[in-house]
Amino acid sequence: MSVQTLYTAATGMTALQTKLEIIANNLANINTVGFKRDRANFEDLFYVQDKLPGAQDSTGNYTPNGLSVGLGSRVSGVQTDYTQGGFQTTNRQLDLAIEGIPCQAPDASTPAHHRSLFEVHLNRGGHVWAARLARDHVAGDFSCRAGTKLVFKEDGSLDRFTPAANVTFRGLLFKAGEEIETHELYYGGVLVDPATLDGIPCAAARVRLEPNGHLLEATLSAAHVVDGHALPAGAWFDRALGGDLYRICLPGGEKFQPGTIGKA
């Protein structure tokens, strides 16, 4: 066993030790009024690339995957959970509690032409329909990022939101800080990792899908034939709802209508 093996294992133990300290702090403050619990987020460390993809082995064959070994993990950050806690009756006249969505208001330095970005819209029932968040807020089981727009549907479910951390939505892992749409006709966001959707290899970029899984928008992670058109890796395409391609942008920035390029 090499010394590096011990160092790699030690990084995991150090990260878990930090997590235990955070949990201990949460438990110690279980009866602290107004306390918000924290949680540790982890990330992997650098990888040692012993053999690059496409290199030849001892027999002269090309290796498709190469050989890389990770060097462990670490705590990437500590995230505070701003979920609304339970109310406590104090029977004191000057004590108060705020319930609802924390809406951001413009300050004195906000230009007049930007003040409309802070408007709060209410539906017929008096509930918030759209607002900009003053702080991280949990809505629809998702932690939404402060300073971003939060939009609800008429039934009270989320229509558009920006997650404060990477989030899994409808089986797809979307990036923190990138807006997610949950429209009745489609849904989408920015993928954290490449994925194959509707049989098409998609890069870690913006995607849109119909509720039935039909892919509407994506950037290809590999060359692929889409609706009869042979597109290279890095090409972006857009489809009509329930239909075929109507916009294509190649990696060099050239834009085409599907009828102007040849079919495979």
177 and 115, same domain (yes or no): no
CB 175 within 8 A of CB 164: no
255 and 185, same domain (yes or no): yes
Query: What pLDDT does residue 194 have?
Result: 93
- Give the range of the structural domain holding residue 134, as residue numbers without chain letter: 98-165
Query: What pLDDT does residue 1 have?
Result: 61
The count of domains in the chain is 3
Q: Which residues of the chain have pLDDT under 50?
A: 262-264
204 and 127, same domain (yes or no): no
7 and 71, same domain (yes or no): yes
Query: What pLDDT does residue 200 have?
Result: 94
182 and 253, same domain (yes or no): yes
112 and 205, same domain (yes or no): no
For residue 226, what are its two tokens?
Answer: 């889409």
255 in a structural domain: yes
156 and 232, same domain (yes or no): no
Separation CA 171–CA 41 (nearest Å): 20
86 in a structural domain: no
Query: What pLDDT does residue 14 have?
Result: 93
74 and 134, same domain (yes or no): no
183 and 250, same domain (yes or no): yes
Query: What pLDDT does residue 244 have?
Result: 80
Final residue before a domain boundary, out of 117, 150, 165: 165
130 in a structural domain: yes
Query: What pLDDT does residue 264 have?
Result: 47
Q: What distance, in Å, lies between the first and last C-alpha atoms of the chain? A: 53
- pTM given for the model: 0.59
Task: Dump pLDDT digits (tens) for 183-212.
Answer: 878 899 999 999 999 999 999 999 999 998
Q: Please, which residues bridge with residue 48 across strands?
A: 69
Residue burial 152-175, b: 16+ Cβ < 10 Å; e: rest? beeeeebbbbbbbeebebeebebb
215 and 153, same domain (yes or no): no
60 in a structural domain: no
157 and 172, same domain (yes or no): no
Query: What pLDDT does residue 259 have?
Result: 59
149 in a structural domain: yes
170 and 258, same domain (yes or no): yes
Q: What are residue 222's phi and psi, to 5 degrees?
A: -150, 160
